[in-house]
Homo-oligomer: A and B are copies of this chain.
Amino acid sequence: MSNTNISPSIITLLTDFGLKDIYVGTIEGVIANLNPQLRLIHLTHEIPPQHIAAGSFCLASSYAYFPRGTVHLAIVDPGVGSSRRGVAIQIDRGYLVGPDNGLFTSVLRESPAIVAVELTDTRYWRSPVASLTFHGRDIFAPIAAHLASGVKIIELGETIDPLTLNRLEFPAIAITHGKISGSIQYIDRFGNLITNIPATAVVNRSWQIAMADLLIPQRATYSSVDRGELIALVGSSGWIEIAVNGGSASTRLGLSPTEPGNLPLTLEIVESIP
């Protein structure tokens, strides 16, 4: 990337709010009202409702492509109004703002927290008073706007030990007798099945995927095979994926395209003859 200067004026937004209502637009209004110079970039608002794991995967797949100093506002918040904390976290490339419910698990695996703060200073919330059910509008959006406008993270509340941040537990991959067992962590719009097996696990090996009674061959690109063929490949975010050229692997395998992921589907990476 050619531009690595601090550029504190970008906020990204990832939610499960959908686009049917005005929740997303209202958040953009609150931010514009605090500082009209800030730019908001929408990651996605179609995280399946209250599905924290899908939110964690999507944020981790995209945050690294933004300028240094970007504030990533993420709101998938089934516990809004409960005792779950609101947090702001500084990482090497920028900031994370949202509920402390595991939503940042996947980002923090790659980019450890440098500073973490519980959002306790109400001066940085929307006044006169925050609702009990829409902290996105009333707490997280103003906090993101203040951070992106130059307020120091430690001003926003009480510093907390990053080790106390909530983390999701994801299914692990297992390596036994040369086989790698994993699962599907996400299904995208095209019906591609994104596994939890990183490409780094298969470097310099010839491999294929065994799943149910299928053997799925490895190919470099979707179009390496005829239309309609099921293949395995290294996807654009560095995970092994199962795809159908010109079609949908999820439809082919009878999986719901709206399945939020973390399917208990066992697959194995096995050797193949090159």
Contact surface of A with B, Cβ cutoff 8 Å: 1-3, 7, 9-10, 12, 14, 17-26, 28-30, 32-36, 39, 41-46, 49-50, 58-59, 61-62, 65-67, 70, 78-82, 126-127, 131-134, 137-138, 188-190, 220-224, 233-236, 246, 248
Given A10-B36, A36-B7, residue A81 in contact with residue B220 (CB < 8 A): yes
Tallying the copies of this chain within the complex gives: 3
A41 touches B32 (CB 8 A): yes
Query: Which residue in chain B gives the minimum CB-CB distance to A220?
Result: B132
Give Cα A132–Cα B234 distance, bound, in whole angstroms.
9
Contacting pair A65 B137 (CB below 8 A): yes
For residue A60, which residue of chain B has the nearest CB?
A: B22
Is B134 in contact with A236, judged by CB distance below 8 angstroms? Answer: yes
- Given A21-B44, A190-B49, also A33-B78 (CB < 8 A): no
Contact at B188–A79, with CB atoms within 8 Å? no
Chain B residues lying within 8 Å of A28, measured Cβ to Cβ, are 41-42
Q: Which residues on the B side are within 8 Å of A30 (C-beta)?
A: 1, 65
Chain B residue, CB-CB nearest to A30: B65
A19, A42, A236, most chain B CB atoms within 10 A: A236
Q: Tell me which of B7, B34, B221 contacts A80 (CB under 8 A).
A: B221
